[in-house]
Amino acid sequence: MPQPNVDSAIIHLKRRSEPPAQVNDETFFFDITRSAFAQRRKTLWNNLVNRFPELKPQKEELEAELAAIGIDVKRRGETLNIPEFATLSNFLDNFMRK
């Protein structure tokens, strides 16, 4: 007494047979994702450059190439979905190996 004011919910999770997106390097994918959320209210570009400073001199080239694949570096990390993170990760993985 008194009766608690509690709302309850049940969720049902289904395990996927395959991931929602294919990535070249899973460790790099998670590194990119973590860096995108490293500092709140920072753009994707600022967070990526903080993690990978070697990208900074190539900003114009990267912006153009990322825009061509549908990723605006002025967005924030929370606006990207899993397939977009996979695309970003695969692109940067290939770009940095050049």
Structurally, how many domains does the chain consist of? 1
What is the per-residue pLDDT for 2?
86
| pLDDT tens by residue, 8-60 | 999 999 999 999 999 999 999 999 999 999 998 999 999 999 999 999 999 99
Q: Domain range spanning residue 69?
A: 26-97
Whether residue 91 has pLDDT greater than 90:
yes
- Which CATH number belongs to the domain containing residue 37 in this structure? 1.10.8.100
Residues near 72 by Cβ (< 8 Å), separated by ≥ 6? 44, 66
Answer yes or no: is 17 within a domain.
Answer: no
What is the per-residue pLDDT for 55?
93
Model confidence, pTM: 0.82
What is the per-residue pLDDT for 73?
92
Answer yes or no: is 31 within a domain.
Answer: yes
